[in-house]
Amino acid sequence: MAATKRDYYEILGVERHAGADDVKRAYRRMALKYHPDKNPHDKQAEHKFKECAEAYEVLSDPEKRERYDRFGHEGLRGAGMHDFSRMGFDDIFSMFDDIFGGGLFGGGRAGRGARAVRGYDIETQITLTLREVLTGVEKGIEFKRRDYCERCSGRGSEPGHGEESCRGCGGQGQVAQTGMGGFFRMVTTCPACGGRGRRITHPCSSCGGAGRAIKPRTLSIRVPAGVRDGQAVRLAGEGEPGENGGPRGDLYCYVKIEPHPFLLRNDDDLVLRAPIGFTQAALGATIEVPSLSGRQTLEIPAGAQHGTVLQIKGEGLPDLRTGRRGALLVQVLVEIPKKLTKEQKRLLREFAATEDKEVLPESKKFFERLKNYWAGQNGK
């Protein structure tokens, strides 16, 4: 029995209404995560890499995507789908050359004609408080990346030794195969040299000929005021080095915002839920509330209802583009005491005896509707 295929949108982590650019960015990110160069000999990562490629093939093609949206996986029968589970990595790289060849993704596998290839983009994370989001902040970050091996300076050869032309492809980096009775000719990356055209005779004793090693790096990063949770700050050229003289990739530093003990973020506004007594709600009161700027005085009008939202303008977070600050929105929660003294009960009973239902519009409307409802029920 064939294994059940996962939903393509779920695989790439995009919504069903996602645009083509969103799908492309999502595939780039997932392919980077499960790329074979970053997960050597990892069968699960290999499966996920190929699974992502299959999902991208469908969701990046308007016709296939429409068929999939209407009929699911069954709708793709006869649509010219590739069997990615049986494909080699080089075949996938060649299919999505705009992704792996130095465009959006950057840094495909080394070689393929010995052309310059952009290095991998890498990701890290930085955690901020809401106060740091208010002002913007410069912070030091530490991360690791694959960088040039110090012993061989990235060449892969033991110092004092060089390279020789690949015998498998004659230095071309590609080999040709003829099939189907000579009707077509397929050119693929040379498996012996990985497309470089040259072969290392004496691999570096430090990196084993890879020319790369994992190294720690520390940087200072400026995060602008108003940044949102999940957004990324890009540091150009701080990714991994390219192949054959290609440029470095970029570093994407994703922002995570710590929860505040009192304040919740709603776009550029901050939300605070403040409990008040029922006498404060009835008579009005002045209370102090916390904000990112310090204590703020808030006037509660007489007759404030449970759930009423009051605002203090300019005490929210700044807009990332304009710098204009949102508001502090204070939702008042009227608390009813659970325990009363005898004197408090006596005073409340006296108050209840003087209560004028006419000044309680919601109660008045409710009881009028209820009266009409009972009358209708009695008439049946």
pTM, two decimal places:
0.58
Token reading at 303: 């007759």
Ordered by where they begin, the domains of the chain are 1-105 (1.10.287.110), 111-162+201-258 (2.60.260.20), 264-374 (2.60.260.20)
The predicted structure's pLDDT at residue 119: 85
The predicted structure's pLDDT at residue 181: 46
Residue 131 reports pLDDT greater than 90: yes
Q: Quick check: 207 and 156 in contact, CB under 8 A?
A: yes
Percent residues over pLDDT 90 in the chain = 32
Residue 314 reports pLDDT greater than 80: yes
Residue 259 reports pLDDT greater than 70: yes
The predicted structure's pLDDT at residue 34: 85
Residue 4 reports pLDDT greater than 80: no
d(CA 122, CA 249): 7
Given the structure tokens 């892969």, which residue do they identify? 156
d(CA 251, CA 128): 18
The predicted structure's pLDDT at residue 7: 92
Alpha carbons within 13 A on the beta-carbon side of 32: 24
Residue 115 reports pLDDT greater than 60: yes
Res. 186 pLDDT band, cuts 50 70 90 = low
Tens of pLDDT along 199-228? 888 888 888 888 888 899 999 999 999 999
Token reading at 262: 């009192």
Tens of pLDDT along 62-102? 888 988 998 888 888 766 677 777 666 666 665 565 555 44
Q: Quick check: 219 and 237 in contact, CB under 8 A?
A: no
Of 245, 257, 276, the closest CA to residue 119 belongs to 245
Of how many residues is the chain composed?
380
Q: Which contiguous run of DSSP H or E holds residue 364?
A: helix 361-378
Distance of CA 346 to the CA centre of its chain: 59
The predicted structure's pLDDT at residue 340: 87
Task: Provide mean pLDDT across the span 221-237.
Answer: 92
Res. 368 pLDDT band, cuts 50 70 90 = confident
